[in-house]
Amino acid sequence: MRYHNVCIEAAAHLLPPHVITSEEIEARLSPVYERLGLPAGRLELMTGIRERRWWDPGMLPGTVSVQTARLALQQSGLPVDVIGALVHGSVCRDRMEPATAAGVHHGAGLPSDCLVLDVSNACLGLLNGLLLIADQIELGRIRAGIVVGTETGRDLVEGTIDSLLQDSALTRQSIKSAFASLTIGSGSAAIVLCDRRLSRTGHRLLGGAWLSDSSAHNLCAGGVEAGGGDGRPRMETDSEALLHAGIALAQRTWQKTQQVLGWQAADVSRVFTHQVGRQHRTALMQRLQLDPSLDFPTVEFLGNTGAAALPMALSLGMQAEPPRSGERFALLGIGSGLNSIMLGTAHN
């Protein structure tokens, strides 16, 4: 998978206003911790997540995505009439029908000849959307497009806390499957792509590779179920098995990506990854033989923000240190399923 005519013109993010620390979550779970003999501080110690952020209660993803899309379009400097595709790619959406992208399209004031759709693929949704747009640009069907998404983790975390407090049969073993749910945060990100002849940045999307391991599809599963009774999502995760399977898939995908791009590890200037936790980051960098200092982690203060995690890290990283001529970025995505997409960029 190679691109010759696609540039990343802008990456934008919005952070939720409410900060919730791991210490606060454990305080709410204190009856469970005391009954099971769990030490305070366990959540941050095991994940490296100090805090995460939430939107106001009831905030719809699409409402935030409108703001993020507008911000990204403003940063790009492109006129809205050249935007030929809008993809909404977060796990969270406003409703089943219509596509959340429809409301975002309207709110962002995009033209009627713009393709509008949602893409759902766990924590890879925004990267999948990015590839769909890049393909359309490379084929000459559109001149520019935007992928956007907003994750809202409040209901999952608070619902998980309530379920744990109400579960009288809970054990030190059974609580493990709910642990990953407590790492979830919220956030919003958008990326604008355009034909290189329109680009002012010269930040080229070079291409990359994808691989899947669907034998691991049952290691992390979530959604709203009738048994929950309160309309809030729940998620069950075999964190240890998911870590090992994910790192193995990531290694194979990175090897394929290096072959496609003709890269060695030494060619990479900066790394942006999906944000899971400290253990995942350490294992990923080690297995891929990449220098950890090249990575831009956000998980410590944002938690796991689903499909928005990697694009938010990219936006925050470029804001903190704008790309320099000759730099090459590695975008290392992975999501439940398991699926992995890895991409390379180069700044002229």
Active site residues per annotation? 97, 123
| Residue 151 backbone dihedrals phi, psi, to 5 degrees | -105, 140
Residue whose pair of structure tokens reads 């030494």 in the numeric block: 266
CA pair distance 268, 333, nearest whole angstrom: 16
DSSP 147-216: EEEEE--HHHHHHHHHHHHH-TT--TTTTHHHHGGGGB--EEEEEEEEETTT-SS-EEEEEEEEEE-GGG
Alpha carbon distance 324, 327 (integer Å) = 6
User: 129, 130, 140, 200: which is closest to 5 by C-alpha?
Assistant: 140
Answer yes or no: are the C-beta atoms of 238 and 280 closer than 8 Å: no
Beta-carbon contacts of 152 under 8 Å, excluding residues fewer than 6 positions away, are: 54, 55, 59, 60, 61, 92, 186
Element (H, E) at 88: strand 83-88
> 3-state DSSP call for residue 144?
strand
Side chain identity, residue 82:
V
Q: Assess contact for 15 and 187: CB atoms under 8 A.
A: yes
Q: Are 281 and 298 in contact (CB under 8 A)?
A: no
